[in-house]
Amino acid sequence: MGRKWNNIKEKKAAKDKNTSRIYAKFGREIYVAARQGEPDPELNQSLKFVLERAKTYNVPKHIIDRAIEKAKGGSEENYDELRYEGFGPSGSMVIVDTLTNNVNRTASDVRAAFGKNGGNMGVSGSVSYMFDETAVIGLEGKTADEVLEILMEADVDARDILEEDDAVIVYAEPDQFHAVQEAFKSAGITEFTVAEISMLAQNDISLDPEAQAQFEKMVDAIEDLEDVQQVYHNVDLGV
């Protein structure tokens, strides 16, 4: 699939850690999930999913607790979940997921990040049809064959199981995310290198060095926006 999930996550974490931006993004996402249902992950699947993903990024407990307590406290701060789609250089495609309390500001900022870096924002559906929503779960210490055996014993289906560097990455249908994790936990596996639902491009593309540099600059500008939670694209960055 051309992703190398662990390398991508480490690169993003290293970039975000310098500004603690990743913690702010998770704090907002946890708060929103906790407000949408019970502030207990065992009673709120959306919150449970966010916390599982936060764990793979080593988000500190005090960040998590503060966001949940804020939701419990009845804060009136409201966020809208919005998705933007657009194009970068040389046929590259980008999906941007946001949480915002000011729709006009976010739309303007995302459009500017595209436009100032050789891209342009498209209409809803102009890009997403080329991506598949996919559960991605990674772990270390097992082979692909061992992982397949665990999933078969639990009667859980996966789209694909790949060995990437020192990890095994499972790709599954989104509604199988928790089933895959529970199968692993039943087998004594509780630590994951990746645990998220992503938008995977059906076909990755490679860019020439100049276009790739411009593309990375555009993606960095988008990811730096306060309201942006996730950025997905179809470019094989070779990490």
Tell me, what's the pLDDT at 175?
93
Contacts of residue 19, Cβ cutoff 8 Å, sequence gap at least 6: none
Better pLDDT: 212 or 165: 212
Whether 22 shows a pLDDT value over 90: the answer reads no
Tell me, what's the pLDDT at 158?
94
Whether 15 shows a pLDDT value over 90: the answer reads no
The reported pTM is: 0.89
Whether 51 shows a pLDDT value over 90: the answer reads yes
Place 9 in a pLDDT band, splitting at 50, 70 and 90: low
Convert the pLDDT of each residue in 179-202 to its tens digit: 999 999 999 999 999 999 999 999
CA distance linking residue 80 with residue 103, whole number of Å: 8
Q: Give the closest residue to 204 by CA, choosing from 62, 94, 77.
A: 94
Domains of the chain: 5-72 (1.10.10.200), 80-129+202-233 (3.30.70.980), 132-200 (3.30.70.980)
Tell me, what's the pLDDT at 203?
93
Tell me, what's the pLDDT at 77?
85
Mean pLDDT, the chain, whole residue set:
90
Per-residue tokens: 122: 């498209």
- Over residues 175-179, the mean pLDDT reads 93
10 Å Cβ neighbour count for 239? 12
Dihedral of the alpha carbons of 94, 99, 102, 106, in degrees to the nearest 10: -20
- Over residues 58-75, the mean pLDDT reads 90
Per the DSSP assignment, residues forming a β-bridge with 133 are 199
Contacts of residue 230, Cβ cutoff 8 Å, sequence gap at least 6: 96, 97, 198
| Cα-to-chain-centroid distance, residue 33 | 15
Q: In the chain, what is the straight-line distance between the N-terminal and C-terminal CA atoms, in Å?
A: 13
CA distances, 133 to each of 13, 75, 130, 200, 234 (Å): 22, 31, 10, 6, 13
Per the DSSP assignment, residues forming a β-bridge with 85 are 95
Tell me, what's the pLDDT at 36?
87
CA distances, 132 to each of 27, 77, 118, 141, 159 (Å): 26, 32, 25, 28, 11
Whether 10 shows a pLDDT value over 70: the answer reads no
Convert the pLDDT of each residue in 199-231 to its tens digit: 999 999 999 999 999 999 999 999 999 999 999
Place 130 in a pLDDT band, splitting at 50, 70 and 90: very high
CA distance linking residue 155 with residue 69, whole number of Å: 37
